[in-house]
Amino acid sequence: MNKRIVLFASGNGSNVEQICRFFEQDATVTVQAVLTNKATAGVINRVKPFGIEAEVFDKSSFTDGTLLAQVKNSNPDLIVLAGFLWKMGADWVKAFPKKIINIHPALLPNYGGKGMYGEHVHRAVRANGDQETGITIHYVNEQYDEGAVIFQAKVAISPQDEAAAIAEKVHQLEHRHFPEVIAQLLKIKAE
């Protein structure tokens, strides 16, 4: 049976592109929708080569139940937050228990919470003098970055690494592992 995923993104969309590329030749998985809260998000152009039209939504449709009803009607097997910066409300978490996952550019519980995304995380890691960082893929609950951890991967960083170099190392981990973890989760759900 075909598995359906819905992707949410707020920005550039490099992870969404990697996920679409990973599943492009897989007849058992369909990227059902790419949803973004920014009309200028790079993800919109990144998914066009895959024949996907990203849908832009606003805050009211996200919070008033309109978008939730639309996504529910599509009956996804997994909702993937790939650089999506808005907090999923309790209504979303209740509607899709253990079906919403997120990727975070650090080793949670470190550097998580409201406002901790992208460059903010990498600057904090650098300022703290950490010798390693990484990614965390986790289930989404009602709190920022506090859902159960599914997968983590680490990468060494040196004192000379600026935030941009740290970001590049983290992106490499994201691109390598995120699609694979999604595939594994979908396989588990099929069993």
| Catalytic site positions | 104
Q: Tell me the H-state helices in 9-58.
A: 14-23, 43-46
Q: Is the peptide bond before 109 cis (omega within 30 degrees of 0)?
A: yes
* 3-state helix/strand/coil string of 109-174: CCCCCCCCCHHHHHHHHHHHCCCEEEEEEEECCCCCCCCCEEEEEEEECCCCCCHHHHHHHHHHHH
The three-state secondary structure class of 108 is coil
CA distance 29 to 5: 7
